[in-house]
Structure 1
Amino acid sequence: MDGIHLVNSQKRLPSPNPIHPLRFVPIRLTRLRQHTSKKEEEESSRRLPTQDRYKAAQAIAPAAAEIIGRRRREKNPTDAGSNQSHQHQHHHHRHRRNPNLDRGPPKDPSMPLKKPSPLKKPNPNQNHKWADIWFKDKARKHVVFKMQLDPLSVSPDDQTLTLEKKAADDFRAVDPTSLLSDSLLLRIFSLLPSSQHLPNSLVCKRWLALHGRLRRSLKLLDWHFLDSGSLTSRFPDLTEIDLVAASVHSQSPRSSSGIFLTLPYLSIPIHSDDSAARFVPDELFLPPDYIDIGLRTLSRGCPNLRKLALIAGTEAGLASIAAECPTLQELELHRCTNDVLSAIASFENLQILRVIAFVEGLYDDSSISDVGLTILAHGCRRLVKLELSGCEGSYDGISAIGACCPMLEELTLCDHRMDGGWLAALSFCGNLKTLRLEGCKRVDADPGQVEHLGLCPALETLQLRRCQLRDKESLSALFIVCATVREIIFQNCWGLDNDMFSIASICRRVKFLSMEGCSLLTTAGLETVLLSWMELERLRVVSCNNIQDNEVSAALSSLFSVLKEFKWQPDSRSVLASSLAGTGMRTKGGRFFKS
């Protein structure tokens, strides 16, 4: 409806004779003229009660609507019929007027319509004009004014304003991010914290797809997600993926014990009926052919892979990865055999390799010997880091690695099953900087003569973690080979007493020593070695229960005062107290933590 819409609100004036409420009255404000003086208007408004003014407004409304309708039909005779029918239907549905209230002009279409003649002097007993009734009253809370443009009488300026307003509304309706390309949005998302990536993916489908392209690393738990192609379509730009957990069935009919074997890379249920022989039966591992199909799908969908971890891959599967993923730099092979290592030569840019062959109770049917180590050495000449876990071998295999991999800087041996004499082969590793032994039951069963051991000239760090150091001859051979080390780290090593630790005085260039969980070592044994190291700068002693504060001598105390880095928590009680600092637990349970 054109003009002004006056919509009656829910709050209405009380009336003894209820009249149908006024819904809307079309009227032109510019056509109304005030023909009475201000004094007469004030007198009429004071004399006429509010209830009577409301009735008068209802009486005038039909006449005003009829006048506007006639003028519109005169300007545009073609639309007169449609406008009249539309107006009639609209009035009929919105409210039914009382015929007694219609007091409009005669309905003769031949009568010319001119400017409305001035109204007579208002009479209290007669109806008042529209301006006196509505616009002089201050209490207009029972109506709502809604302005709309008249399409038949709008000026060009009004049309321009209308178009500008419509354009502004359309601009606000458009998503501003739709003006940005995918590459720009990806660059913006990459600057956000990783914790915001998942909430952003829930905004819309486009952002969900971009989140998939933003993802770089993934740990797969369901192999079907890879085999069906959903993984590569959802995350096409992956650079790191771990397939180890997905290669093992987490559920089987016999997994009823509720006990899980948890490793750093895997968590699987232990079966109560055959746990004495083996924790994980062969039926829980996916067949090698099935894994090869998934590897081919992965190689085609994610050609930018840089890191891959998998179980029981075959030569065909690794060959497909090597052909489609030339940028692969890090590879982790579980349940590996000598035959699988023959396919590693296809990876031209491989720099980091982890080979897990034998794990007691988990991978009992796989083994790597000197043959596999020699194949590895000739195929991976650009290796920088190498980790061998559960591998067999001897002097020949280690010497081949040292001779064929001149860039090797870090070597890790976990639970090795090497034959005697492998320590002497470390002298072939001319650029080796870090040697790490983890979970080894012995260092070297037969190291041989001291003059044949050799030396690692570039070695800087020696780490021994969870190793059994009960053979004094093998430990002495290890320190002779690693005589140039600058850092020595012992962590939870069994059998490291004063006599075994005194052998470490062979290494004269040590600058950092870390002792953790070495319960057999005493303060006297520690002092003997520390005073022989003239270049010592940093010391860390944690959870070594036989080292007591009251046994520290003056010479050892003066050494502590010149160290650049010093951490002294020898007993477990002090470690626990420091971990509870700031929690308030030590104050409430002080009787359990008395020092």
Structure 2
Amino acid sequence: MMTFSPEKQDPDPPLKRWSDLWLKNKKSLDQVVFAMKLQSFPKPPLTNLKPEPDKTLVFDRPKLVADRTSLLSDELLLQILSKMPKSQRNSNFLVSKRWLNLQGRLVRSLKLLDWKFLVSGRLFVRFPNLIHVDLVNGCVVSPRNSGILLTHKMVSLHIDSHVSSIEFLPENRILSVDEVDSGLKSLASGYPNLRKLMVVSASELGLLSVAEECPTLQELELHRCSDQVLRGIAACQNLQILKLFGNVDGLYVSLVSDIGLTILAQGCSRLVKLELSGCEGSYDGIKAIGQCCQMLEELTLTNHRMEGGWLSALSYCENLKTLKFQSCKRIDSDPGLDEHLGSCPALERLHLERCQLRDKRSVRSLFLMCETVREIVFQNCWGLDNDLSSIAGTCRRVKFLSLEGCSLLTTQGLESMLLSWKELQRLRVVACNNIKNGEVTPALSILFSSLKELMWRPDTKSQLLSNLAGTGMGKKGGRFFKKI
């Protein structure tokens, strides 16, 4: 018979948890691990056995790995992260400091908002492999505490009440030329493989440093550009796309004239795309571009300030395929005689967006030069009426026509233009309120039925399908009708 004294405590109180029991019998656990290790060893042959001295076997317990991706190399992890969608890739930097650095190595394009991030050198450490850098917003000094936000197609900035009636970006709102040039020099030395650059108020020396250090630069966008600045891009041997912003109404004032266009033409002979926004010039400047830049395929003129007679110089652009006019108040104030105009034999596309087309003479000269065009786009142009539609009929090789926001054009004018184009295959009519469904003639219905693609929405009440019942529209082979 056993007796228990209430004053004497139990030396081994009962364990409350399985984990305590597991750790309590540590000696037993080591014996189990030892037995498992012995079973995993290959058994020696039964013959020629020699006794070996006793050896103490030490078995290390496997350590838990907190971050399993640490077992992967940087190169392998970079390949995995690069396969992720961009929408999910941006949040990877929150995982760890290592992922932050790896994510920075995957970034190729960046819009700089703080200039100090560039001059301090943190940009190169954080994003070492950039090939596309936008410095436009970083070059602008704007008050952060202002509640007035100015948004332009190229920049968005805060402004205060102390602005000029001529320009919203006066001298004190843009970094000095020395600061911009110093930043460009650091950028060029840090990114020798730079391919695209956008900058405001740079000088000739700043662009020269970029041209010398970045031989692969292919695209350049210069805001607040001038004739003297264009001397710096002559060293850009492989430049293919160039956008020049001279005078931008309400934003800033600058000047690009025939002098700058001639310097540009002589220095950038490999240009493929050229955009001139707010630039002045004349026949001589455009002629120099056509003669020197023989690889030029696309020319865009935005709010140009060209002198009269410049239009005929386009005939020197022998390989020009796309010609665009955007926000132009006029095409050419004095185009001259028809026999002096010439033509663009390789031109395929003519786009006019938000342009004034009230000067019938200049528009007529434009279409005479573009008689070989295959695609014509009118978007929110003022002055496009039935008279101009008959002028556009001179381009008899048109295969695609897009009309949007042409409120003066009627159904009769559209019909006279379309019936003269025997090769028309695609038609798009949107927001042209004077074009009525009830005025569609049988001849126009037959033309619609032969098109490969048709988007018909002259107004919000258009119901073309009911008016074309019985014409077989959309039932012939691969032809289809698109209605939105």
Shorter-chain TM-score bucket reads 0.7 to 0.9
Give me the TM-score of the superposition, normalised by structure 1. Answer: 0.70
Say if 1:223 and 1:246, in contact at 8 Å, map to a contact too: yes
Seen in structure 2, the aligned counterparts of structure 1 residues 144 and 411 have a Cα distance that, compared at 3 Å, is closer
Q: Which residue of 2 aligns with 1:149?
A: 27
Say if 2:143 and 2:159, in contact at 8 Å, map to a contact too: no
Q: Which residue of 1 aligns with 2:312?
A: 424
Q: CA deviation at 1:286?
A: 0.6
- 2:248 match: secondary structure: coil
Does 2:310 correspond to 1:407?
A: no
Alpha-carbon distance in structure 2 between the residues aligned to 1:398 and 1:278: 28
Does 2:268 correspond to 1:380?
A: yes
Q: Which residue of 2 aligns with 1:306?
A: 195
Say if 1:332 and 1:353, in contact at 8 Å, map to a contact too: yes
Q: Which residue of 1 aligns with 2:229?
A: 340
Q: Which residue of 2 aligns with 1:243?
A: 135
- 1:241 match: secondary structure: strand
Match runs of 1:169-184 below 5 Å: 169-170=62-63, 172-173=64-65, 175-184=67-76
Q: CA deviation at 1:21?
A: 6.3
> What CA deviation, in whole Å up to 9, does each residue of 1:22-58 have, x standing for no partner?
7458xxxxxxxxxxxxxxxxxxxxxxxxxxxxxxxxx
Q: Which residue of 2 aligns with 1:537?
A: 425
Alpha-carbon distance in structure 2 between the residues aligned to 1:466 and 1:264: 15
Q: Which residue of 1 aligns with 2:334?
A: 446
Alpha-carbon distance in structure 1 between the residues aligned to 2:164 and 2:33: 91
Seen in structure 2, the aligned counterparts of structure 1 residues 156 and 251 have a Cα distance that, compared at 3 Å, is closer
Q: Which residue of 2 aligns with 1:261?
A: 150
Give the counterpart letter for 2:26 in structure 1: Q
Q: Which residue of 2 aligns with 1:189?
A: 81
Q: Which residue of 1 aligns with 2:475?
A: none
Alpha-carbon distance in structure 2 between the residues aligned to 1:322 and 1:142: 72
Give the counterpart letter for 1:387 in structure 2: E
Could you tell which deviates more after superposition, 461-470 or 172-181? 172-181
- 2:393 match: secondary structure: helix
Alpha-carbon distance in structure 2 between the residues aligned to 1:216 and 1:142: 54
> What 5-or-longer segments of structure 2 have no aligned partner?
41-56, 464-484
Seen in structure 2, the aligned counterparts of structure 1 residues 447 and 151 have a Cα distance that, compared at 3 Å, is closer
Q: CA deviation at 1:325?
A: 1.1
> What CA deviation, in whole Å up to 9, does each residue of 1:79-116 have, x standing for no partner?
xxxxxxxxxxxxxxx9xxxxxxxxxxxxxxxxxxxxxx
Q: How big is the alpha-carbon RMSD for the aligned residues of Structure 1 and Structure 2?
A: 2.8
Alpha-carbon distance in structure 2 between the residues aligned to 1:485 and 1:304: 38
Q: CA deviation at 1:363?
A: 1.8
Match of 1:507 among 371, 374, 395: 395
Seen in structure 2, the aligned counterparts of structure 1 residues 153 and 496 have a Cα distance that, compared at 3 Å, is closer
> What 5-or-longer segments of structure 1 have no aligned partner?
1-14, 26-93, 95-139, 576-595
Alpha-carbon distance in structure 2 between the residues aligned to 1:514 and 1:479: 16
**Which structure: larger Rg?**
1
Seen in structure 2, the aligned counterparts of structure 1 residues 144 and 356 have a Cα distance that, compared at 3 Å, is closer
Q: Which residue of 2 aligns with 1:77?
A: none
Alpha-carbon distance in structure 2 between the residues aligned to 1:317 and 1:237: 21
Q: Which residue of 2 aligns with 1:229?
A: 121
Seen in structure 2, the aligned counterparts of structure 1 residues 142 and 557 have a Cα distance that, compared at 3 Å, is closer
- 1:506 match: secondary structure: coil
Alpha-carbon distance in structure 2 between the residues aligned to 1:554 and 1:151: 95
Alpha-carbon distance in structure 1 between the residues aligned to 2:459 and 2:58: 78
Higher share of residues assigned helix: 1
Alpha-carbon distance in structure 1 between the residues aligned to 2:306 and 2:335: 11
Alpha-carbon distance in structure 1 between the residues aligned to 2:423 and 2:17: 91
Give the counterpart letter for 1:437 in structure 2: F
Seen in structure 2, the aligned counterparts of structure 1 residues 441 and 142 have a Cα distance that, compared at 3 Å, is closer
Q: CA deviation at 1:185?
A: 1.9
Q: CA deviation at 1:443?
A: 0.1
Say if 2:221 and 2:244, in contact at 8 Å, map to a contact too: yes
> What CA deviation, in whole Å up to 9, does each residue of 1:254-305 have, x standing for no partner?
x85x443311210123544545333232210110100111111111111111
Identity of aligned residues (%): 58
Give the counterpart letter for 2:440 in structure 1: V
Match of 2:252 among 363, 374, 378: 363
